[in-house]
């Protein structure tokens, strides 16, 4: 994405109680960048994991997609959220990541997180 004004995006996570309630503010000056989401419980795609949403942002969109898929495959339950977000910290290409599994969330990165009131 390339934007001219700051943008807040929400994270859709299916049936998770956190779905649509977490926003990430993307500063226009940080773009262009890629944002991709992978999920094991939402949508038709095949995943080895059970995450409701794994959002990853990188300068390279293909890397964002690959990291979202990779990290999503590692989340099999709520306990895996913390260790997977810790692993995401080691990938220096990742600008930001959000992992949601049921009512658990892990967040890292350079962007501001804000609640979304639906």
Tens of pLDDT, residues 34-56: 999 999 999 887 889 999 999 99
Side-chain half-sphere exposure of 53, counting CA atoms within 13 A? 26
User: Confidence band (pLDDT; 50, 70, 90) for 117?
Assistant: confident
Q: Which residue has the tokens 């934007």?
A: 3
Grouping H, G, I as helix, E, B as strand and the rest as coil, residue 65 is: helix
Instruction: Supply the pTM of this predicted model.
Output: 0.94
């Amino acid at each position: 994405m390339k934007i001219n004004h700051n943008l807040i995006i929400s994270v859709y996570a299916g049936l998770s109680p956190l779905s649509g309630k977490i926003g990430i503010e993307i500063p226009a000056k940080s773009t262009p960048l890629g944002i991709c989401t992978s999920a094991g419980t939402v949508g038709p795609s095949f995943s080895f994991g059970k995450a409701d949403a794994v959002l990853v942002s990188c300068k390279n969109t293909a890397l964002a997609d690959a990291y979202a898929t990779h990290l999503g495959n590692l989340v099999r339950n709520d306990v895996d959220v913390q260790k997977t977000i810790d692993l995401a910290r080691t990938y220096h290409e990742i600008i930001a990541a959000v992992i949601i599994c049921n009512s658990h969330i892990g967040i890292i990165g350079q962007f501001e997180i804000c609640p979304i009131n639906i």
